[in-house]
Amino acid sequence: MGHIAVKSFNGEVVDEYGNSIPLHETYLHHWIYYGLGSETRKTDTWIPDPYGIVVGNPDEVPSGCNLYNVTVDEDGDKIQANYIGGLNCCYDETQCKLREGFESVTRKLFLKYTVEWVEWEPRIVPVKVYILDITDTGTGSDSCNVEYEVKECNSEERKNGDCIDTQITRLVMPHGGDIIYGVAHQHSGGAGSALYGQDGRLLCTSIPSYGNGKEAGNEENYIVGMSTCYPKPGSVKIADGETLTLISNYSSNQMHTGVMGLFYVLVAEEDRPLLGPPKNMICFNSLLAWCIEMSVKTGAVFIAGNNGLLFLKHRVKSLRISVPVQFVHDSSWAHLPVITMEKGKYHANQG
C-alpha cells in the first residue's frame, strides 16, 4: 500500500459465506492492531481528520487449564497447578474439552477485517499509538502480564452490594501531546475503565455495552461495544513524562479468569503545528483572509485563502499582484491588496 495513514480498522469472525459468527459460537478474543477484540462490531474506530496512523514511512522502516486439553503452554513449559485459565491455555490449535460422545461439525471460519486509509500527504498529522495495560506495575516479574484474575466477592461484599473488583496502576507517558481518541478493552464482566492525568483530571472514560440476544453483534452477556472518547483537538493534553492513572473495573459477582484491562490512546505530539502557514509565508486580512508564498528556488507562487487554494506556477524573479483572483471552491471574486516581491522580500499595499 506504500506510505499511507490508516483511518480505521475493524475485524470479526465470519464463515465461508461471509456470515457473521456469534460470540457464543466462536469468541474473537483479541486482535492486536487496535488493541481491541470481539466488541469492535459496535465500537467506533474512525480517526478524525487531519490525523492518521502512519504506515509505510520510507524514513522509518521500522496447569491445570481446566476447560482445555492443555497441560503445557505455547513454549512447552508446564502450566502451574494454580493457573485456572487464560492466555496460556488458549494458543493456536488448542480447543475446549468436549462432552463424551459429542460429534462436532466441521466448518471453515475466517477473520474478516476492514481497513480504511488515505494516501500520505503533508497535511496529515501523525498520531502515536499507546496501549496501556492495567497489569503494568513497572516493577517485578509480575508486571505486564496482560491478563489477570477477578476473584468472586465474599458474602459481606455481596451483602453490601460491593461486588466490584477495581484495579489501579500508574504509568509514565514518554511523550505528551493532544489526546485524539481513546477506548478501553475489557472482557465479559467488565464494568468500565477510566484514565486520569497526574493532577486528577479525567482524560477519558470507556464503558461497555452488553448484548441481550443470540444474533451476531447482540450476544447476551457478552460485551458488544465500548464507548469512545473524541476530545476536541487541543482540549485534552498530556505533558512529556506525565504520570497517568489507569483504573479498570470488573463485576466480581462471579470469578473471571484471563481478563484484560487495556486502554488504547492516540496522541498527536506537539512537535509541529496542526495547521497554519509555513514560516516563509506572509498573511493579510482584507475582505478575505489570505496568504501568499513564493519559492526562492523555483519561483513558484502559492496563494491560500480562507475558502480554498490557488496555485500559480510561474517562474518569476519579481511579482506584482493587483488583479482579481478566484479561490477554489468559491464562486466569488476578491481584489487582493497589491503585493510586490523583489529579491525574496515582500511589500504590500492596499490596492
Chain centroid to Cα 337, Å, comes to 45
Whether residue 213 lies inside any domain: the answer is: yes
What is the DSSP secondary-structure string of 44-96?
--PPPTTEEEEE--TT-----BTTBTBSB-TTSPBPPTT--SSGGG--TT--B
From 204, 236, 268, the end of a domain falls on 268
- SS3 call for 38: helix
Q: Could you read off the pLDDT of 17-50 as tens digits, one per residue?
A: 999 888 888 877 766 555 677 788 888 889 999 9
- 83 with 18, same domain: the answer is yes
**Unique residue bearing C-alpha cell 464507548:** 227
Q: Does position 172 have pLDDT exceeding 50, yes or no?
A: yes
Q: What is the pLDDT of residue 38?
A: 76
**What does pTM read for this prediction?**
0.66
- 28 with 110, same domain: the answer is yes
Alpha-carbon distance of 313 to 311, in angstroms, equals 6
Q: Does position 116 have pLDDT exceeding 70, yes or no?
A: yes
Whether residue 275 lies inside any domain: the answer is: no
The domain total for the chain is 2
Q: Does position 144 have pLDDT exceeding 50, yes or no?
A: yes
- 96 with 195, same domain: the answer is yes
- 224 with 304, same domain: the answer is no
Cβ neighbours of residue 310 under 8 Å, at least 6 residues apart? 303, 304, 325, 326, 327, 328
Q: Could you read off the pLDDT of 37-88 as tens digits, one per residue?
A: 778 888 888 999 999 998 888 776 444 444 445 677 777 788 777 776 666 7
Domain of residue 47 covers 4-268
Q: Could you read off the pLDDT of 215-265 as tens digits, one per residue?
A: 998 999 999 999 999 999 899 999 999 999 999 999 999 999 889 999 999
Q: What is the mean pLDDT of residues 110-133?
A: 90
- 247 with 328, same domain: the answer is no
Cis check for the bond before 277: say yes or no (omega within 30 of 0): no
- 70 with 185, same domain: the answer is yes
